Structure 1
Amino acid sequence: MLNNDNKAYKSGFISIIGRPNVGKSTFLNRVIGQKIAIMSDKPQTTRNKIQGVLTLNDTQMIFIDTPGIHKPKHKLGDFMMKVAQNTLKEVDLILFMINAEEGFGRGEEFIIEKFQTVNTPIFLVINKIDQIHPDQLLPLIDAYKEKYSFKEIIPISALEGNNVDRLLEQIKKFLPEGPQYYPADQVTDHPERFIITELIREKALHLTREEIPHSLAVVLDKMERQKDKDVIHVMATVIVERDSQKGIVIGKQGSMLKEIGSRARVDIENLLGSKVFLELWVKVQKDWRNKMSQLRDFGFNDDEY
């Protein structure tokens, strides 16, 4: 396939693999230029494959931000691991992202063991280099060279944007010739409804901090444009596992839920390009992370993987 300049057009799927909280979602949002993956300093924030599409004049890169690889503690965790490991065999290139501050540990060793059965080219992407002294970088690179033969080793700062363009240039070299899978103006294959629930969940995670772990899900109940008005009415339910968590999410006289809604509404309006009237409710579903029927209801469809 040729582009407008009669050059071969390249396209491919790139999986971003790594331990929880190494900056995968931050990188994806940086590359795509807008928020499609939620960000949190809590591990296991990403639960589904988030596909971000970057379309250039001669290349289309489809990035898959997978759940952070970790030891599962419940059925939701099993689902997340299945998603992450299956993508290793489905893509044209793997970006193994690490946190420069954390060095090499058992978690990284566990991931590298998974690479032994994969023929896909793998880049080591050392993220958060803005958080370490430059003298610490070379020993870190040497340590990883001993563990695996990476096709490229590229240090970046996804937050600051340092060296991200160089990484994209190297990715382009490894992608095969292929079609433009998505329209040029499409940045994700996820429907708006999914992204809206993720934006609400992000605000709830940020505001409740350590009080609400990852026993929190969001379900979109209703989204419709109000007649004769440029306003979209969104109704969603925040799901928690215990009554005590419900009280935390609602807050004193509804203050916490109001703040979650207020912050989420700003991002949802940016996403939809319209005024939004957002209503949030909170519901307790005890031990939902271990119940397959409820996992499916909340969008974690194990049959797809």
Structure 2
Amino acid sequence: MSDSGFRCGFATFVGRPNVGKSTLTNALVGEKVAITSDKPQTTRRAIRGIVNQPDGQLIIVDTPGIHRPRTLLGQRLNDLVEQVLGDVDVIAFCVPATEKVGPGDRRIAESLDGYPRAAKVALVTKTDAASRDQITERLIEVDSLREDWAAVIPLSSLAGDQLDVLAAELLALMPEGPALYDSDISTDESVEDRVAEIIREAALEGVRDELPHSIAVTIADIAPREGSDLTDVYADIVVERDSQKAIIIGHRGSRLRDVGARARAQIEPLLGTRVFLGLHVRVAKEWQRDAKKLGRLGF
């Protein structure tokens, strides 16, 4: 088969935390490759989701939300976003239809001047939760932020509205070239990383205040159990303080059991086997601010 006319390239979604970037990545890929949560800074790595189409391949790089960093971790997340923005072919700027454009959005939109190589697209997300008037108002606000938008597209990841329009628009902006991944691959994330993220997503549910930022997950071991159809998964949930450890564990371990049950329900289909999930909660004091501890946790 000739690659003539076939397009392949990289796109990323940018915006404030919690504007729906990871949900949009998953919706385009057609399966869950990035965890989602209503907690800001849920995404901590550049996660690649691969969208295969008859006439091209889109590689969506999901990144952390851009924010004012208060810790070394926060600064490293912002640095990661900057690195990705410098490498991609298309930057898609996201604003939720339900919220007015604010100073943070304007600052991010202006910062895109620093990446002249990439085409820019504006997306108004979460249209399923907004009125028609809100969507119209947001489209006008977003359109006025820059003069070089290649397209301005309203969409809903949850309802699936306009995702085909977005995919076609992104693909049209990509360079011609062969696919970089096999057509049956949806992400280049390792199994260990995906399992760790599933556990972290489960741990994030229902926690409050500063705790979400303090949670990290490391995998100690994933191995089939001898003479059984079980896979043993052992993981550490890392927090910064003893009081946070108590919250994660809960009364007589009740909360940790809930975390394990929620995580196991997603890990089993990923691994294709029944899973024994052993979770241990440990404290690494102020790890978000400690360069050595960040390194050990993979940041």
TM value normalised by structure 2: 0.96
Give the residue type in structure 2 aligned to 1:36.
V
**Which deviations, in whole Å up to 9, do the C-alpha atoms of 1:247-299 show, x marking residues without a partner?**
11111111111110011011011111111110000001110001111111111
Alpha-carbon deviation of 1:211? Answer: 7.0
Distance (Å, rounded) in 1 between the aligned partners of 2:207 and 2:16:
23
Match of 1:2 in 2: 2
Distance (Å, rounded) in 2 between the aligned partners of 1:154 and 1:243:
46
Q: What does 1:105-124 correspond to in 2, within 5 Å?
A: 105-119=102-116, 120-124=118-122
Match of 1:55 among 52, 55, 59: 52
Distance (Å, rounded) in 1 between the aligned partners of 2:291 and 2:189:
22
Distance (Å, rounded) in 2 between the aligned partners of 1:137 and 1:249:
39
Give the residue type in structure 1 aligned to 2:138.
L
Which shifted more, 282-291 or 223-232? 223-232
Q: Does 1:71 align with 2:68?
A: yes
CA contact under 8 A between 1:211 and 1:248: conserved in structure 2? no
Distance (Å, rounded) in 1 between the aligned partners of 2:233 and 2:273:
12
Distance (Å, rounded) in 2 between the aligned partners of 1:2 and 1:225:
42
Which shifted more, 136-145 or 211-220? 136-145
Match of 1:141 in 2: 139
CA contact under 8 A between 2:139 and 2:154: conserved in structure 1? no
Q: CA RMSD in A?
A: 1.3
Match of 1:267 in 2: 266
Alpha-carbon deviation of 1:8? Answer: 1.9
Alpha-carbon deviation of 1:42? Answer: 0.8
Match of 2:26 in 1: 29
SS at match of 1:234: strand
**Which deviations, in whole Å up to 9, do the C-alpha atoms of 1:93-121 show, x marking residues without a partner?**
11111111112101101101211122211
CA contact under 8 A between 1:38 and 1:46: conserved in structure 2? yes
Alpha-carbon deviation of 1:217? Answer: 0.3
Gaps in structure 1 of 5+ consecutive residues: 301-305
TM value normalised by structure 1: 0.94
Distance (Å, rounded) in 1 between the aligned partners of 2:239 and 2:114:
38
Give the residue type in structure 2 aligned to 1:93.
V
CA contact under 8 A between 2:49 and 2:61: conserved in structure 1? yes
Give the residue type in structure 2 aligned to 1:8.
G
Dislocated runs of 4+, deviation >4 Å: none
Match of 2:285 in 1: 286
Alpha-carbon deviation of 1:143? Answer: 2.1
Alpha-carbon deviation of 1:28? Answer: 0.9
Which shifted more, 235-244 or 291-300? 291-300
Distance (Å, rounded) in 1 between the aligned partners of 2:82 and 2:41:
15
SS at match of 1:84: helix
**Which deviations, in whole Å up to 9, do the C-alpha atoms of 1:50-85 show, x marking residues without a partner?**
110111222111000110000000000000000112
Alpha-carbon deviation of 1:225? Answer: 0.8
CA contact under 8 A between 1:97 and 1:124: conserved in structure 2? yes
Gaps in structure 2 of 5+ consecutive residues: none
Alpha-carbon deviation of 1:189? Answer: 1.1
CA contact under 8 A between 2:124 and 2:138: conserved in structure 1? no
Distance (Å, rounded) in 2 between the aligned partners of 1:198 and 1:209:
19
Give the residue type in structure 2 aligned to 1:98.
V
Match of 1:80 in 2: 77
Give the residue type in structure 2 aligned to 1:17.
V
Distance (Å, rounded) in 2 between the aligned partners of 1:276 and 1:170:
41
Give the residue type in structure 2 aligned to 1:129.
T
Distance (Å, rounded) in 2 between the aligned partners of 1:110 and 1:278:
43
Match of 1:303 in 2: none
Distance (Å, rounded) in 2 between the aligned partners of 1:19 and 1:286:
28
Distance (Å, rounded) in 2 between the aligned partners of 1:2 and 1:16:
30
Would you say how many aligned residue pairs link Structure 1 and Structure 2?
297
